[in-house]
Amino acid sequence: MSEINRVLKPNGFAVIIDLLSPGVFLLDTWLQTIELLRDTSHVRNLSLAEWHALIAVAGLKVFRVNTFRRRFGICILGRANAGARALCYGDSFITAVCKY
C-alpha cells in the first residue's frame, strides 16, 4: 500500500481486486489451502476490515467498495449438500482508493 501511495499523484486513484477472507476460521483455513494449492506464492487473503486498515495506514482513503460472490472452478464437492455448496463460493471485492 505504501508503494501505491508513493506513486499516486494527488487526487489519483488505484483499483484493487482480491478475494476476501470469510472471517470464519474453518472456511478461512479452507480458502487459504485452496489458494496455496493454486498459487504457491500466495500468502493470505485478508478480510475487508484488514484491507481497510492497510489502506488507512498507508495514508490512502477508500473511495468506493463493491463486493461480489465468485464461484470457484474446483467445486465438485459442492453437489453433496447445501453446507458443502457454501464452500464453492468466495466473496471478492473491488475497491478504489484515493490519494488526497
pLDDT per residue as tens digits for the range 15-32: 888 878 877 888 788 778
Rounded average pLDDT over 42-64: 87
Residue 90 grid cell? 468466495
Looking at residue 57, what is its pLDDT?
A: 92
Element (H, E) at 74: none
- Boundaries of domain holding 72: 2-98
Please say if the pLDDT value at position 77 is more than 60: no
Taking only the tens place, the pLDDT of each residue in 48-58 is 888 889 999 99
Looking at residue 22, what is its pLDDT?
A: 77
Residue 14: left if φ>0, alpha if ψ -120 to 50, beta else—which one?
A: beta
12: domain CATH number?
Answer: 3.40.50.150
Percent of all residues in the chain with a pLDDT value above 90, rounded to a whole number: 6
Task: Decide: 5 and 58 in contact? Cβ < 8 Å.
Answer: yes
Q: How many domains does the chain have?
A: 1
